[in-house]
Structure 1
Amino acid sequence: MKKISLLLVLLIALSMFMVACSPAADDNKPNGDNSEQGNSGKPTELVISTWGFNEDLLRKNIYEPFEKANNVKIVLEVGNNADRLNKLRLGSSNVDIIQIAEGFAIQAISEGLFEKIDRSNIPNIENLYDVAKAPFGEDYGPAYTVGRYGIMYDEAKVSKPIESWADLWDESLAKQITVPDITTTAGPFMPFIVADVEGLDVKKDTDAIFGKIKALDNNIVKIYSKSSEVVNMFSQGEVSVVAGQDFSFGQVKEAVPTAKWVDPKEGAYAVVNTINIVKGTKNKELAEKFIDWILSEEVQKANAIDKVDSPANKNVVLTEEEAEGLTYGADVIDKLILADWDYINSVNSEWIERWNKEITSGN
């Protein structure tokens, strides 16, 4: 009996030793490390705050491939820049990553709402055009697309070619124009445009500038707050001239084949859309992996061909047809006007108040 008992003890000890030494899942591995995680187990949820434009194409080109490769479930929180930034301020969302325009990103950084990134985990940053690599310094996220704010118009409905920002005030365009609200991504460009056209100082001649904007009343059909409104108004023939961003031109051109894009002779404005990691995320490394993916040549080219976003990755090569309507190539990007966002943010409240009182009230 003693020999049997001793044998049982030895067998139990041996079995416990083998279990302890057997390979097991490492609970401390970072999210998104699919070298061992693979596609097994419950997917990690990654919440992305973004615009609700071209969602079907974004799922095809970006989200679904990333989900499959990394055992991830991507959840979108969509809305305009201002609303989504306010949710971060209020702590009323569980967002990991936010795609947001430059002016709003600057506000978020000043308020400590973004995590600092580890650029060694995002090697595709080095393949971006210089303007996109570090718009807020190397601690924060890059621009994943650099677009243009210019003019779209229907050649079949406009009596003479549009070449200048000044043409928006032409009497022949009565009740044909839409422009963005001051609170949108490109809205704050309008005072700068007026200053250029009229030879005014944007920092000193505020009364004259807003007076000139008010003079557009007769030509404006509507002031829009979402890019989706641009496509709808254009396709329904409600407007024939749009001051807008080029990322919506693909859909406009598809709906209205006679639509044309114009870089005004005074210059088109750069629209720098950024991607950053939200403070307090539990998925920082996975978020960095996603940023690297969205900056990859593969994704950037797919989005460019589908007219979703202009490529910020300088390795993307497009045909003339594929590049139509996009901000493509160093020769185009280098000519863009970069807005003074520090100044815009310093007068933002004042401009919004004046806009609502003097401009919006009549439209």
Structure 2
Amino acid sequence: MKKISLLLVLVMVLSMFMVACAPKEDNQVGENNTEPNNTSEPTELVVSTWGFNEDLLRKNIYEPFEKANNVKIVLEVGNNADRLNKLRLGSSNVDVIQLAEGFAIQAIEEGLFEKIDRSNIPNIENLYDVAKAPFGEEYGPAYTVGRYGIMYDTAQVDKPIESWADLWDDSLGKKLIFPDMTTTAGPFTPFIVADIEGLDVKTDIDAIFAKIKDLNKNLVKVYSKSSEVVNMFSQGEASVVAGQDFSFGQVKEAVPTAKWVDPKEGAYAIVNTINIAKGTKNKELAEKFIDWILSEEVQKANAIDKVDSPANKNVVLTEEEAEGLTYGADVIDKLILADWKYINSVNKEWIERWNKEVVSGQ
């Protein structure tokens, strides 16, 4: 009997050991069915991005991806120009970088991006056409397509604003904030003036800057960060802004009487891109991360939270959820696409004139 009891104990111990060592079933997260790998230390993935809505981005993008893939995402935040300069100088260990279209074109021309393998990013096929390959199929897609238009507080502005030209109206004295020429949307300004004045941006630049200078009568501040827009609206320091739609959700939350306007001349497309930094050691993981950002699940979560407009055409939103977003082919197809190659060829000159003729006059 003692021998039988001892044998039973050994069998039970052995069975427990085998159960403990058996492989666990794979956990699947979201639509992408990404499989976690928790057998080793997390792989660090450095993402260069803006510092706006970081808490919501962590909830919708970073934390689910980290959990599913045994990854630790480290953020390098800042504006386009600063983050691109870090990449140029080699003072950054970035794997993935998000840049507005004009800055991304500069990076491509300077050889700062890896070429992507689109077979590793199948969600690209679910994007609107304008987002699939803004620089050709060798480089990353746009993960969001937004609008540059006008926001204003209807409780503080007497006349309805319908046109870009309305920003020069005398009734807006010291109520307007406007983006700096060095920002994503700043270079649209000469094109806007050329349109409303019937001028040619390539041959009438002196007349265009004379008109831009007239904005000083209405300007409260030239801003360089979107967070300034929200802060100044919420504190009542400004009631009109030429700005991007991704910040409208927070503006509307702070000021319920705020309204978004697509000017009658047209709103400009803001094409924010995602690419892989040259020399990364995590290229396949970076491609997997890009695919995750493009997924219907992530795109819809960000849209509902008013973080970014969805570039994934499979995302379906209610009228309330879509308010203030660039949503649907009928909206996207109407956007004005800027000539960024030309802008980059003259942008240094424009910035110098802007600083001398506009900023110094405030």
Same fold (TM over 0.5): yes
Deviation at 1:160, TM superposition (A): 1.0
d(CA) in 2 for partners of 1:229, 1:223: 10
1:67 is aligned to 2:66: yes
2:182 matches 1:152: no
Q: Deviations over 1:129-178 (max 9, x none)?
A: 00000000000000000000000000000001000000000000000000
- Secondary structure of 1:217's match? helix
1:2-43 Cα shifts (integer Å, max 9, x gaps)? xxxxxxxxxxxxxxxxxxxxx9xxxxxxxxxx9887222100
**What residue number does 1:49 align with?**
48
Residue of structure 1 in register with 2:104 after alignment: 105
Distance between the aligned counterparts of 1:35 and 1:83, measured in 2? 33
The CA distance in 1 between the partners of 2:134 and 2:359, in whole Å, is: 31
Distance 1:35 1:54, change over 3 A: closer
1:213-266 Cα deviation digits (max 9, x unpaired): 000101000000000000000100000000000000000000000000000000
Give the equivalent residue in structure 2 for 1:230.
229
Give the match for residue 173 of structure 2. 174
Aligned 8 A contact 2:34 2:68 in 1: no
SS at the partner of 1:315?
coil
Q: Which runs of 4+ in 1 moved over 3 A?
A: 34-37
Q: Indicate the SS of the match to 1:73.
A: strand
**How big is each residue's C-alpha offset from its partner over 1:190-233, in whole Å with a ceiling of 9 and x where there is no partner?**
00000000000000000000000000101000000000000000
Mapping for residues 10-159 of structure 1, pairs under 5 Å = 38-159=37-158
- 2:249 touches 2:306 (CA, 8 Å); kept in 1? yes
Of 348-357 and 55-64, the range deviating more from structure 2:
348-357
SS across alignment from 1:53: coil
Alpha-carbon offset, residue 348 of structure 1: 0.9
- Percent identity between the two aligned chains: 88
Do the aligned partners of 2:65 and 2:71 also contact (CA within 8 Å) in 1? Answer: yes
**Alignment correspondent of 1:26:** none
Q: AA paired with 1:50? A: T
Letter in 2 for 1:347: V
Task: Provide, for residues 85-143 of structure 1, a one-character-per-residue CA deviation record: whole Å limited to 9, x for no partner.
Answer: 00000000100000000000000000000000000000000000000000000000000
- Give the aligned residue type for 1:244: G
Per-residue deviation at 1:279?
A: 0.1
Alignment partner of 1:326: what SS?
A: coil
One-letter amino acid of the structure 2 residue matched with residue 112 of structure 1? G
Question: Is it true that 1:286 corresponds to 2:285 in the alignment?
Answer: yes
1:304-323 → structure 2 map (5 Å cutoff): 304-323=303-322
Q: Which residue number corresponds to residue 358 of structure 1? A: 357
2:297 aligned with 1:298: yes
What is residue 259 of structure 1 aligned with on the other side?
A: 258
Report the secondary structure of 1:216's partner residue: helix
**Please, what is the CA RMSD of the aligned residues?**
1.2
Contact 2:165/2:196 (<8 A) preserved: yes
Q: Distance in 1 between matches of 2:123 and 2:284?
A: 15
The one-letter code of the counterpart of 2:245 is D
Q: Tell me how far apart the structure 1 counterparts of residues 231 and 34 of structure 2 sit (CA, whole Å).
A: 45
Residue aligning to 1:240 = 239
Matched position secondary structure for 1:144: strand
Distance 1:43 1:258, change over 3 A: same
| CA gap 1:290/1:207 in 2 versus in 1, 3 angstroms | same
Check conservation: 2:36, 2:67, Cα contact below 8 A: no
Q: TM-score, normalised by structure 1?
A: 0.90
Using the TM superposition, give the Cα deviation of residue 49 of structure 1 relative to its aligned residue in structure 2, in angstroms. Answer: 0.2
**5+ long unaligned stretches in structure 1:** 1-22, 24-33
Structure 2 Cα separation of the partners of residues 360 and 218 of structure 1? 12
The verdict on how the C-alpha distance between 1:80 and 1:36 changes in structure 2, with shifts beyond 3 A counting, is closer
Query: What are the Cα deviations for residues 323-361 of structure 1, in whole angstroms up to 9, with x where unaligned?
Result: 000000000000000000010000011101111111111
1:261 partner letter:
W
Structure 1 range deviating more: 34-43 or 290-299: 34-43
Long gaps (5+) in structure 2:
1-22, 24-32
Which amino acid letter does the alignment assign opposite residue 70 of structure 1?
Answer: N
Q: 1:37 to 1:156 in 2, by over 3 A?
A: closer
* AA of the residue aligned to 2:97: I
What CA distance in whole angstroms lies between the structure 2 residues aligned with 1:155 and 1:234?
12
